[in-house]
Amino acid sequence: MAETGSVATSEELAVLVRNDFIESRHAGSVVVVNPQGDVIFSKGDPSALVFPRSAMKLFQAMGIFSTGITLSPEHTALATSSHTGSAAHVEMVREVLSLGGFTEADLRCATEWPVNKEMLKQVYKADGSALPIYHCCSGKHAAMLLACQAEGWPTDNYTDPGHPLQLRIREAVEYLTGETVTATAVDGCGAPVHAMPLVALARGVAKMRSANESAPMNIASSAQKLFSSMLEHPWVVGDHGEPDTLIMEELGFAAKSGYEGVFLVSTPDGTTVATKILDGNLRTAPIVALQALVRAGALEQSALDALIPRLHTEVYGGGKVVGQLTTTFS
């Protein structure tokens, strides 16, 4: 059975301190590559296989937009979104669906309750239920439907691994990472997710950012529009206060989170970091990724220090700050 990196090959990357007592330790791997894909900093095992989870959306977008569909910048960013089910996000998903004459019933993502508190209150008040459109990946699924329509592909089974769209996405993954896919699973939303070495995840994103017109599948133009749309509308990608949204707003770096401790950050020149926290801790991954960029010389420590208070690293006791989640390298 294929698996991710082990404890033995990982390194301790962060600790949670409560009143001068180390309460938790988080091990994993992190790797930074330059725009050419060369490793310039790493800890742990960069060759460890990982499922990118929602960070896979950047690669899926290359397959989606290779079909020639065009969306507004907001709707383009929505295709990469792991949204909270806010009213604004849900309305945008409906807008994308309507572009192809689709409805919520055409979505093949799992049902979910809104994470956004205000939207959840509205749903409860209306005696509503969990729906596919509230799923954090519904924006991607709406874009997948438009891509299938553009190519004349079936739309009722677009999440099947053998569907032409999923094969196109797999082709994009293998081209960008330079790796042959050896393990595929069903992601939480129902779409296929492909395992890849952590360093290949970083290299794939760096290659997107440096792609020229010789790249297949319209990758150069698709990537340029994708990243500019994400940075123009960062709240669409996550939501206000979410780590990837904050990083894009404050640093101007493209960022994308993935469940189970995966996090990607890519600077304007294509220097890219990928991290995997072994225990899947989501709060730890962003600060590890950013500290690695500092070590690689791609981010000033002062800029990271200014952002840290907004990345939910404080540890509370009795309503007061009594500790901090911090990286173990600097």
Q: Would you place residue 37 in the very low, low, confident or very high pLDDT band (cuts 50, 70, 90)?
A: very high
Residue 15 CB partners (closer than 8 Å, separation 6+): 22, 24, 25, 26, 325, 326, 328
Residue 289 CB partners (closer than 8 Å, separation 6+): 30, 263, 264, 265, 273, 274, 275
User: CB–CB of 220/213 below 8 Å?
Assistant: yes
Nearest alpha-carbon partner for 254 in 233, 227, 226:
227
Nearest alpha-carbon partner for 231 in 211, 217, 245, 214:
245
Dist CA 148 CA 153 (whole Å): 5
User: CB–CB of 53/259 below 8 Å?
Assistant: yes
Dist CA 272 CA 275 (whole Å): 10
What are the structural domains, with CATH classification, of the chain? 11-327 (3.40.710)
Dist CA 48 CA 199 (whole Å): 8
The amino acid present at 107, given as its one-letter code, is L
pLDDT at 108 over 90: yes
Q: Would you place residue 22 in the very low, low, confident or very high pLDDT band (cuts 50, 70, 90)?
A: very high
* pLDDT tens figures, 218-258: 999 999 999 999 999 999 999 999 999 999 999 999 999 99
**Can you give the pTM of this predicted structure?**
0.97
Q: Would you state the pLDDT for residue 1?
A: 84
Q: Where are the alpha helices (DSSP H) in the chain?
A: 57-65, 73-78, 87-99, 117-125, 138-151, 164-177, 198-210, 219-232, 234-237, 243-251, 284-295, 301-307
Q: Would you state the pLDDT for residue 2?
A: 87
Dist CA 137 CA 279 (whole Å): 23
Percent of the chain with pLDDT over 70: 100
Q: Would you place residue 328 in the very low, low, confident or very high pLDDT band (cuts 50, 70, 90)?
A: very high
Antiparallel, parallel or unpaired: β 21-33 and 254-258: unpaired
Q: Classify each residue of 95-118 as buried b or exposed e, where b means 16 or more C-beta atoms within 10 Å of its C-beta.
A: ebbebbebeeebbbbbebbbbbee
Dist CA 226 CA 224 (whole Å): 5
* Mean pLDDT, range 82-89, rounded to an integer: 98
User: CB–CB of 142/161 below 8 Å?
Assistant: no
Look over the chain and give the mean of its residue pLDDT values, rounded to a whole number.
Answer: 98
User: CB–CB of 197/49 below 8 Å?
Assistant: yes
* Mean pLDDT, range 139-146, rounded to an integer: 99
Q: Would you state the pLDDT for residue 330?
A: 84
User: CB–CB of 219/66 below 8 Å?
Assistant: yes
